[in-house]
Chain A
Amino acid sequence: MICLNELTLKYNNTTAVNNISGTFEPNSLTAIVGPNGAGKSTLLKSMVGMHHPAQGACNCPCCREEIAYLPQLMTVDRSFPINVLDTVLLGHWRRVGAFKGIQKADYQMAFSALEAVGMMGFEKSPIANLSAGQFQRVLFARIQLQNASVILLDEPFTGMDLKTVGSLVERMKQWQAEERTIIAVLHDLDQVREHFPHTLLLARECIQWGKTEQVLTHENLTHAWSMAAHWGDTVS
């Protein structure tokens, strides 16, 4: 469970998210949608402790240890000379840290995580050789290893082919079945309607937060996007 308590986030004095309160229920599957610059990514970062609130608080009784975070794909250097297996093994960081050795069981977990996302056989390939979709699957395998009770995904399906989206959605549903809480920033409203029971519509403030069919109404969406028209600069 994550509680937002009158949370306000700022970027260089520009308000990215203003005074938002509410709760992500345990074991829920919530989409965060809104126009560009609505503060969606900033909100995720604040939940994982990478962006400090200007006011209010973001309380998670489960503590930060139990949160896994997938940043937007473009923030990772995909030309870096590292292979798939090593990338996935990073998921053990919380336990293994900077110095401890990696055990046989840890490798086993990495292999089965790769199998679950359909990337078996790619262990030794450099990540530079992967397509965007394949790389995203690898990152999903890494999240699998983190074994977190809350999973935050920032635009996980942007730029992915249909087959990858299908397999990633399946992973997400599996995580929910394992009683994890999932919060994802998404652009494609059809995907939201199809897969996410709850939605938070954000436009630098909370437009509406609740059941997806009640949030994604024509009226609400028009309201959110008309607010975006008045923003000078964009903060994402």
Chain B
Amino acid sequence: MSEVYVLLLEPFVEFGFMRRALVACFALAMGCGPIGVLLMLRRMSLMGDAMAHAILPGAAVGFLIAGFSLWAMSIGGFVVGLGVALLAGIISRFTNLREDASFAAFYLISLAVGVIIVSTKGSNVDLMHVLFGTILAVDNASLFLLAGITTVTLFVLAIIYRPLIVECFDPNYLKSVGNSGITYHLIFLMLVVFNLVGGFQALGTLMAVGLMMLPAAAARFWSPQLWSLFSIACFTAAVSGFIGLLLSFHFSLPSGPAIILVAGCIYLLSALLGKEGGLWRRFSLRLRLA
């Protein structure tokens, strides 16, 4: 019994930074779960990735001005991220440019600009922090920010739930009843940026989108219904945070990548074993038919 305690609970009981990191993970999971599911259903996974990187130059400018200030970097990231999201949203609605190509271009440019800005003033350690996050260094102010982001996200999602879902499922129908849906699309993009800024604090620009997409993709293999997709994604994200932090503690691994790796493993297992179109299911069905 005591071994289990040492393995699973002691790190969080003994160390304040582990506790804060765990709470940060749970807060992120609550917001990122539903946002990730919606991104996936809207076939915008790649766009989420691009936007995560687009936050970097903004955060880097904040860093340039104020050093490692939570607020400067968050506000910088939010402003630039939102700008890119709006621009991308507008471009993809009103031109027939291939979306994937333009987003790939966008994210490479942003990443390059961000890394160069950070390098001109900061050290390699700073660069690592920006790229891979500092979840073990989360302080109370960051926790409030993360909790605030999650609260706003869940409230706004609850309010615009119906139109958002309809716009995603059958946009032509929404248009035919006289609602272009663009307002809800833009509000949703804003929520995505909010959560990416939160994820950026904890997991860094390269990993921020991981806690959105991997749990969402894993959930798709377990449920055919929206509300359970949301809860499974939240739960998966939270569990990934818990196990990832423990792994990082016991084996001295970098925490952000450890969390994302756990989420990745859960995704792979779901793809193999999931009851909604998982590989094992398909394979055994074929064997039975043969």
- Are A and B genuine complex partners? yes
A interface residue numbers (CB < 8 A to B) = 12, 48-50, 64-65, 67-69, 71, 75-77, 80-83, 90, 93-94, 98-99, 126, 128-129, 146
The listed residue with most A CB atoms (<10 A of its CB), out of B159, B160, B173, is B173
CB proximity of B66 to chain A, nearest CB, Å: 40
B283 within 8 A of A: no
Q: Is the CB of A93 within 8 A of B223?
A: no
How many of B's residues come within 8 Å of A, CB to CB? 25
Q: A64-B178, A80-B41, A93-B177 are in contact. Are A75 and B172 (CB under 8 A)?
A: yes
Segment with Cβ contacts to A, from B28-36, B162-170, B197-205 = B162-170
List 29 A-B pairs, Cβ < 8 Å: A12-B96, A48-B176, A49-B178, A50-B176, A67-B176, A68-B176, A69-B172, A69-B173, A71-B172, A71-B173, A71-B176, A80-B168, A81-B41, A81-B225, A81-B229, A82-B165, A83-B225, A90-B166, A93-B166, A93-B177, A93-B179, A94-B177, A94-B178, A98-B163, A98-B179, A98-B184, A99-B159, A99-B162, A146-B177
The listed residue with most B CB atoms (<10 A of its CB), out of A12, A48, A65, is A48
Q: Is the CB of B176 within 8 A of A65?
A: no
CB proximity of A131 to chain B, nearest CB, Å: 16
A80 / chain B contacts, CB cutoff of 8 Å: 41, 168-169
CB proximity of B88 to chain A, nearest CB, Å: 21
B16 within 8 A of A: no
In the bound assembly, the distance between CA atoms of A65 and B41 in angstroms comes to 29
Over the window 35-65 of chain B, the binary record of Cβ atoms lying under 8 Å from chain A Cβ atoms (1 yes, 0 no) is 0000001000000000000000000000000
B226 within 8 A of A: yes
Q: Is the CB of B224 within 8 A of A81?
A: yes
B174 / chain A contacts, CB cutoff of 8 Å: 93
A154: nearest chain-B partner, CB-CB: B172
A126 / chain B contacts, CB cutoff of 8 Å: 224-225
B interface residue numbers (CB < 8 A to A) = 41, 96, 159-160, 162-163, 165-166, 168-170, 172-179, 184, 223-226, 229
Q: Is the CB of B178 within 8 A of A128?
A: no
A124: nearest chain-B partner, CB-CB: B225
B226: nearest chain-A partner, CB-CB: A81
B172 / chain A contacts, CB cutoff of 8 Å: 50, 69, 71, 75-76
A126: nearest chain-B partner, CB-CB: B224
In the bound assembly, the distance between CA atoms of A49 and B180 in angstroms comes to 11
In the bound assembly, the distance between CA atoms of A98 and B161 in angstroms comes to 8
CB proximity of B41 to chain A, nearest CB, Å: 7
Q: Is the CB of B169 within 8 A of A76?
A: yes
A96: nearest chain-B partner, CB-CB: B162
A83 / chain B contacts, CB cutoff of 8 Å: 225
B177 / chain A contacts, CB cutoff of 8 Å: 93-94, 146
Which 9 A-B residue pairs are closest in the complex by CB-CB distance?
A69-B176, A98-B163, A126-B224, A71-B172, A80-B169, A93-B177, A48-B176, A81-B226, A50-B175
B173 / chain A contacts, CB cutoff of 8 Å: 69, 71, 76, 90, 93
In the bound assembly, the distance between CA atoms of A76 and B176 in angstroms comes to 13
CB proximity of B247 to chain A, nearest CB, Å: 32
